[in-house]
Structure 1
Amino acid sequence: MSPSFTDLEPAVWQAVSRADRAFLSATMAPDFFELGRSGRRYSRDDILSGMDQQPGVVTVLHDIDTHMLSPQIALVTYVSEVRYDRGTEWANRSSLWDRSSGEWRLRFHQGTPIEPLQKAPA
């Protein structure tokens, strides 16, 4: 049984997966593209060729929610908290997953910068 998009979405953020060209190639659809947090558009080839330039470490994916648009299409939304040496970046995220080929493939991803989430006191 192949992985579900609910397993794949957090997996693409793990450092070991982000450095695994075979995993990313199998996970991203051939026509994948991303509208990055920076506002830049990235193609599948851009992501695969820049794999060694991804120094961020994701600490938490907050408020993950899934929306089944059809039996073959899923929209995943959440807030990312990514820590870099220079500071932490927050973004609203959305991913579109497609299973029309038989396996879940990431077709689209977008990140939009936001202010840090306010955390409740422990």
Structure 2
Amino acid sequence: MRSKRGIMLLERLTTLEQSLHGDQRRDPAWLEYLLHPQFCEVTRSGVLVNRDETIDALTQETGTAFIVSDGFSLLSVNAGSAILRYRTCTAEGHRPAWRASHWVKVDEARWQLIFHQGTPAV
């Protein structure tokens, strides 16, 4: 059975992750706050991008489709590190992907995303 602390962390990281699925993903101040200085991502198409490239790409997006996400689960690595796993697709059910995000606790009240990977789902 999950601990109350584990459930609270899952809810918190899910909320932070989902903030990147809507309009807030285009806010450079939010991205600077949320993405760890060493952040990198392996995109759904297999391209490795760094933090600056990610911020540039997201802030320039226009007309992005709404991202549906579900099936969130959490793997706690230690007290200051956790991996959030989940599935995404477009509102129409297209482009399904499995996602994994590595979150690190940078101070008592703040978590930052240090790594993300998207893999096409079959």
TM-score tier after normalising by the smaller chain length: 0.7 to 0.9
In structure 2, what residue type is equivalent to 1:93?
A: R
Gaps of 5+ in 1: 116-122
The structure-2 alpha-carbon separation of the partners of 1:54 and 1:34, relative to structure 1 and needing over 3 Å to count, comes to: farther
Equivalences, count: 110
CA positional deviation for 1:111:
0.3
CA positional deviation for 1:76:
0.3
Match of 1:78 among 81, 86, 107: 86
Partner of 2:46: 39
Q: TM-score, normalised by structure 1?
A: 0.80
Give the % identical residues: 28
Matches within 5 A, 1:95-114: 95-102=101-108, 103-114=110-121
The structure-2 alpha-carbon separation of the partners of 1:54 and 1:89, relative to structure 1 and needing over 3 Å to count, comes to: farther
Q: Give the secondary-structure state (helix, strand or coil) at the position aligned to 2:82.
A: strand
Q: Matches of 1:55 and 1:38 in 2, distance apart?
A: 19
Q: TM-score, normalised by structure 2?
A: 0.80
Match of 1:7 among 10, 15, 18: 15
Partner of 2:94: 88
In structure 1, what residue type is equivalent to 2:49?
A: Y
Q: Kindly indicate which of the two structures has a greater share of residues assigned to helix.
A: 2
Gaps of 5+ in 2: 1-10
In structure 2, what residue type is equivalent to 1:19?
A: R
CA positional deviation for 1:114:
1.4
Q: Matches of 2:20 and 2:63 in 1, distance apart?
A: 14
Deviations 1:28-71 (A, max 9, x none): 00000000001001110001111213643234212111111111
CA positional deviation for 1:5:
2.0
User: 4+ residue runs of structure 1 moved beyond 6 angstroms?
Assistant: none
In structure 1, what residue type is equivalent to 2:25?
A: R
